[in-house]
Amino acid sequence: MSTRIDDRQVFSLREVAESIRRTIARRYTSSFWVRAEMIRLNHYQHSGHCYPDLVQKENGKVVAQLRAVLWATDFKRIDKIFSKTTGETLSDGIHILFRGSLSFDPNYGLTVQIHDIDPVFSLGELEREKAATISQLKEEGLFSRNKTIEMPLLPKRLAVISVASSKGYADFIQLLTTKLHDYQPDHMLFPSLLQGEKAAVNIIGQLNKIEKIAHHFDLVVIVRGGGGDVGLAAYNNYDLARTVATFPIPVLTGIGHATNLTVTEMVAHTHAVTPSDLADIIAVKIIGFVRSLKAAADALARVSRITVANRQVLLRHYDSLLNLSGRTLTFAGQLLKMTFSDFNRRAVSLIHQSFRDIYQEKFRLQSNTGAILLNEKREASYIEKQFKLSVPACLESGKHNLAGLEKNLDLLRPEAVLRRGYSLSFYRNKVLTDARLLVAGDTIETRLANGTFIAEVKEINQ
């Protein structure tokens, strides 16, 4: 019971705790369903009990959090069903819909006891997050950006994001080593968490490190072992998918599952079902380049052999051609002398004939020039007389036409038109040509030949 101290009612701590316990017991008489994010499972192996940390976030901020309890017997039953449905055990960083009850103990405080978890809800939340990430990346035009980067002909330098102890990483390296006996690619491991709440942040951090030295690498490879849809939730994270989509060199993924691609795999340059499949893709690319290089080397060797053989043949033909050329040039010189002598004789004859033709043409022109000039003079005199007679008449006709045009222009001037009884009406400083533009009550300005007046529209007839 409470006591009084200095006229104040004072309760003991136990009394307060008991009051809270009774209030909660009366208010929460049955279990209820709650939606929350389980940021940590807190499973204790020695007892089998779990003490999950539950939160609710809005706009990335935690707005509520509670500590729950999941007893060992309930955990075994729930985890078995959850694993069967989702392909993954209960783990950190997943959204759950659970049935729980509320209790308060004076020694241990408020407790939310989890009795059951709906695994279908967790899968639905993953799909919702995945759809939202895909939609946002497509709206931003980033969804296919990494796929547009050209794959190097020889992907020799690999930046690998994985865990050294991961079976997927071991399979990836072993297959590359097995297939590429004579040409091993260089690789550097950037260790990262591959599952759970912090996986996306870890992978983004390693991608940021690689980007700073991206000129040292040909490809980025993300590999991990198999897992169910819940364990792959981090790969639907928007920030991770965007970092992969906008990465400056090709990003390849092999994260170990056969169905239901994650968004990170969708936006990556190339994705494979398993790390081994991804290693096979890279090995085939390298082997193909090496084979092409060897084929080119073989072709070059063949061409070299053919060139040497052809050179020997050409040398033999060169000697024969040199002898033949000497004889041909001697004959050509003799023929050229004969041709030049004949050409010289013909040219002299043609020049003499041309001089005779020029003198004859000169005489003919001198005899005809006088008659042609006299005829042209007569024709010019006649044209001059005709021009003097026609110009005055044309000028007089032009004056009459110009006077008529001036008279017509005077009649068409706005002042002359207004003097004949016409008027101009203006509405809003523009000439009014359509009564449909007016409504009753509008004011118009009318201009006459002598002055203007303002009128108010009373009625409109169309």
Q: How many CA atoms lie within 13 A of 10 on its CB side?
A: 7
293 vs 147, higher pLDDT: 147
Least confident piece of the model among 23-32, 73-82, 359-368, 448-457 = 359-368
Measured CA to CA in angstroms, residue 135 lies from 4, 261, 278, 420 at distances of 65, 15, 27, 75
Measured CA to CA in angstroms, residue 432 lies from 322, 443, 447, 460, 462 at distances of 101, 12, 12, 13, 14
Q: Quick: pLDDT tens for 121-143.
A: 877 777 788 888 999 999 999 99
User: How sure is the predictor about 145, in pLDDT bands with cuts at 50, 70 and 90?
Assistant: very high
**Residue 455 pLDDT > 90, yes or no?**
no
Least confident piece of the model among 79-88, 338-347, 416-425, 439-448 = 338-347
Average pLDDT for 129-158: 91
Q: Which pLDDT score, from 0 to 100, does residue 240 have? A: 94
Q: Which residue intervals of the chain bear CATH 3.40.50.2300?
A: 140-288
Average pLDDT for 88-112: 85
DSSP string, 118-157: -HHHHHHHHHHHHHHHHHHHHHTT-TTTGGGSPPPSS--E
Q: Which pLDDT score, from 0 to 100, does residue 132 have? A: 87
378 vs 228, higher pLDDT: 378
**Residue 180 pLDDT > 60, yes or no?**
yes
405: tokens are: 């045009």
Cβ(455)–Cβ(443) below 8 Å: yes
Q: Which pLDDT score, from 0 to 100, does residue 2 have? A: 66
**Residue 228 pLDDT > 60, yes or no?**
no
Average pLDDT for 168-189: 85
Task: For the chain, give the longest Cα–Cα distance.
Answer: 159
Q: Quick: pLDDT tens for 271-281.
A: 998 898 998 99
**Residue 179 pLDDT > 90, yes or no?**
no
| % of residues, the chain, pLDDT over 90 | 26
Average pLDDT for 183-192: 88
Cβ(43)–Cβ(50) below 8 Å: yes
Q: Which pLDDT score, from 0 to 100, does residue 268 have? A: 95
Q: Which pLDDT score, from 0 to 100, does residue 141 have? A: 94
> Considering only CA atoms, which of 225, 231, 224 is closest in space to residue 86?
231
170 vs 86, higher pLDDT: 170
Q: Which residue intervals of the chain bear CATH 2.40.50.140?
A: 3-117
Q: Which pLDDT score, from 0 to 100, does residue 233 have? A: 77
User: How sure is the predictor about 120, in pLDDT bands with cuts at 50, 70 and 90?
Assistant: confident
| Average pLDDT value for the chain | 83
Q: State whether CATH 2.40.30.110 applies to domain 3-117.
A: no
The angle at the Cα of 135, spanning 132 to 141, to the nearest 5 degrees, equals 140
Q: Which pLDDT score, from 0 to 100, does residue 216 have? A: 93
Neighbouring residues of 457: CB distance < 8 A, sequence distance ≥ 6: 438, 439, 440, 441, 442, 443, 444
Q: State whether CATH 3.40.50.2300 applies to domain 140-288.
A: yes
Least confident piece of the model among 18-22, 235-239, 358-362, 367-371 = 367-371
